[in-house]
Amino acid sequence: MLFFTQCFGAVLDLIHLRFQHYKAKRVFSAAGQLVCVVNPTHSLKYAPTRCAAAQTSAEQGVLSPCHHHEAVHDPQLVPCTCPLFSCPWEGHLEVVVSHLRQTHHINILQGAEIVFLATDMHLPAPTDWIIMHSCLGHQFLLVLRKQEKYEGHPQFFATMMLIGTPTQADNFTYRLELNRNQRRLKWEATPRSVLECVDSVISDGDCLVLNTSLAQLFSDNGSLAIGIAITTSKVHNAEVEM
């Protein structure tokens, strides 16, 4: 009975996933966009992250492990860029993508324009939805996070990080767009480098920010579809249009 129950549950999950993918394809196929269904992952790290720990130590006047690490080890090594876990891995930028795919099983989708379909938006914070986006000869990391910036008031934060240097990131512009029920919301900005901390980007609010009521306006049965487009650009601006 236990074996049957587990198998039956897995079949139901597969049917649900295929149904979500079918709905997304039906909505966005006319635009010729690729659709990736992204399931939520509860973060296992929301004990203080290395970035948060470094900031706290600096405020207390204590030399942080990150600063000590940079003084001793190869400065070209970067920590794991996956915001889901306190992963101790570090390596060069050239192998970050393989680490994310092999260790954290993050999917990668190719194409200049794709649709990021995040499921189960009703789950409690903190929750993350993550995918890699490959286009224009580079790889980008899209992070959507549900987090309580203020107690009792969860918000959704979406940002795009280039798996590259800040100088390389300045050459691109990314656009996140929500479009449903005759409403449109667009965020356009220069991506940040993964050498910067995702947590810092979210804390600064330099990303698309949605409160719960606004997210519900654009969601469909608990799923939120975000259109993603990346172009090459030297213009550094950020704007929200509605």
**pTM of full prediction above 0.85:** no
Cis upstream peptide for 126 (omega within 30°): yes
Contact 187, 238 (CB under 8 A): yes
Task: Tell me the pLDDT band of 93, cut-offs 50, 70 and 90.
Answer: confident
Mean pLDDT of 173-179: 95
Mean pLDDT of 190-200: 89
32-40+77-232: CATH topology:
2.60.210
Mean pLDDT of 163-179: 94
What does the mean pLDDT of the chain come to?
Answer: 75
Task: Tell me the pLDDT band of 1, cut-offs 50, 70 and 90.
Answer: low
For residue 152, pLDDT beyond 80: yes
- Positive or negative, the Cα torsion across 201, 163, 186, 154? negative
Mean pLDDT of 70-98: 70
Instruction: Give the start-end residues of each E strand in 94-222.
Output: 108-110, 113-118, 127-135, 138-150, 153-162, 172-180, 183-189, 192-193, 208-211, 219-220
Give the CA-trace dihedral at 201, 213, 177, 165, to 10 degrees.
10
Rounded to whole angstroms, how far apart are CA atoms 187 and 159?
10
Rounded to whole angstroms, how far apart are CA atoms 14 and 235?
43
Mean pLDDT of 105-127: 88
Q: Which amino acid is at 122?
A: H
Contact 149, 178 (CB under 8 A): no
Task: Tell me the pLDDT band of 7, cut-offs 50, 70 and 90.
Answer: low
For residue 69, pLDDT beyond 50: no
For residue 121, pLDDT beyond 80: yes
Q: Which residue has the higher pLDDT, 175 or 15?
A: 175
For residue 146, pLDDT beyond 90: yes
pLDDT digits (tens, 9 = 90+) for 23-32: 444 444 434 4
The closest alpha carbon to 187, from 116, 82, 106, belongs to 116
Highest mean pLDDT among 70-74, 99-103, 124-128, 210-214 belongs to 210-214
Q: Where are the domains of the chain?
A: 32-40+77-232
Helices and strands of the chain, counted as H and E runs: 7, 16
Rounded to whole angstroms, how far apart are CA atoms 124 and 102?
27
Confidence at residue 95, expressed as pLDDT on a 0 to 100 scale:
82
Task: Tell me the pLDDT band of 96, cut-offs 50, 70 and 90.
Answer: confident
pLDDT digits (tens, 9 = 90+) for 11-68: 455 454 454 445 444 444 434 457 888 888 765 554 444 454 444 333 333 323 333 3
Confidence at residue 242, expressed as pLDDT on a 0 to 100 scale:
52
Written as six digits, the tokens of 57 are 């130590």
Alpha-carbon Rg for the chain, nearest whole angstrom, is 19
From residue 210, alpha-carbon distances to 99, 175, 187 in Å are: 30, 15, 11
- What proportion of the chain, given as a percentage, has pLDDT over 90? 37
